[in-house]
Structure 1
Amino acid sequence: MKFARKPRPPSALQLAMDTGNPALIEAVEQSRKLLHRKALTAALASATPIPGLDMAVDAALLSRLIPQISTHFGLSDDQIARLSPAKRDKVQNTVNMLGGVLIGKLITKDVIMRAAKALGMRLTAQQASKYVPIAGQAVAAALGYATLRYLGEQHLRDCVRVAHEAGIVLPVSYARD
């Protein structure tokens, strides 16, 4: 008996391209560069055989990364607070409708840990693999990279959808991170 594979959701870049908005595409590209750099840092921390270091580094990276990505889309908590009340309501309604759980929120370690629990099995395998010399550390590094990329891509997709649906005018210049 064959099982049907779940279709992959479109990437953030595909979603942005579908909107035809060049500023949205640029925001995704800038955010992905940032995400890649942070994921490489997570991979290095994951390869270190010190138990728990990778989780602390991942939480620290995500607590900075999520707001930086949100800023590229005009969706940080400060940017949303500066919107007109009608526009702010539209953003909040769009977030609620689309389920962007990290948009416009103060990102704390607790919020990051709840998001990471969704990847519990992957994180458990990452911890266990550290105890296998060399090959295990390579697996742990790959899983660390993939975990951060996955969470970042999820947030990017949420930001693209919310920015597009709510009609957010994107910041003209992006902060270089």
Structure 2
Amino acid sequence: MLIKSLAELDRIRDECKSMVTKRSAVSAGAAAIPVPGLDLGTDVALLVEMLPAINSKFGLTPEQIERMDSRSKRMVIVAVSSIGSEAIGKFISRTLVMSLLKKMSTKVATKSVVRFVPFVGQAVAATISFGVMKMVGNGHIDDCYEVCRQALLEEARQATVIVIGPDTED
């Protein structure tokens, strides 16, 4: 594992949350422009770029996992399986991003329809877009954080040595 402490893990989480907030603002800006398809195309492009960047910061890209020693790799794979993430340690494709957005389909559909109402609709669409992007991004950060935390704790458990020796009592 690349991350060696919970303090470092917390710092990475904070950096990633800042990145998600910035990308969410870009998504909101695109949603405020009443051009059909612009908002969804922007969201997909942002997520295709952002999710691998988050994986990379946590050391969880497919390449980074492949380079781990077998014990660390096993710990990460078990942790990923336990939380059920679809995006950790995987190649992030447009298809995967679209499936993540489909989970938010009601909000995405509302955003697409409402933005054609002058002024108020655009503001509502921007707000929904910001919220959806934050939800997807921060959810992925939370998953990555939990995988790394579980792997760090397991590594610490395995590194703990208990010495059992002869009794020294008289």
The TM-score bracket by the shorter chain reads: 0.7 to 0.9
Please say if 1:69 is aligned against 2:54.
Answer: yes
The answer as to whether partners of 1:35 and 1:152 remain within 8 angstroms in 2 is yes
The share of aligned pairs that are identical, in percent, is 29
Mapped to 1, the partners of 2:20 and 2:60 lie a distance apart of: 17
Mapped to 2, the partners of 1:99 and 1:161 lie a distance apart of: 11
- Divergent runs of 4+, >6 A: none
The equivalences for 1:1-177 within 5 A come to: 21-167=6-152
Describe the SS at the equivalent of 1:104.
coil
Letter matched to residue 87 of structure 2: L
Number of residues of Structure 1 aligned to a counterpart in Structure 2 = 150
Q: Which has the larger radius of gyration?
A: 2
- Unaligned ranges ≥5, structure 1: 1-19, 170-177
The answer as to whether partners of 1:27 and 1:73 remain within 8 angstroms in 2 is yes
The answer as to whether partners of 1:38 and 1:61 remain within 8 angstroms in 2 is yes
RMSD (Å), alpha carbons? 1.5
Describe the SS at the equivalent of 1:167.
helix
Letter matched to residue 148 of structure 2: A
| Cα distance per residue 1:24-43 (max 9 Å; x no partner) | 11011100111111111100
Shift of residue 86 of structure 1?
Answer: 2.3
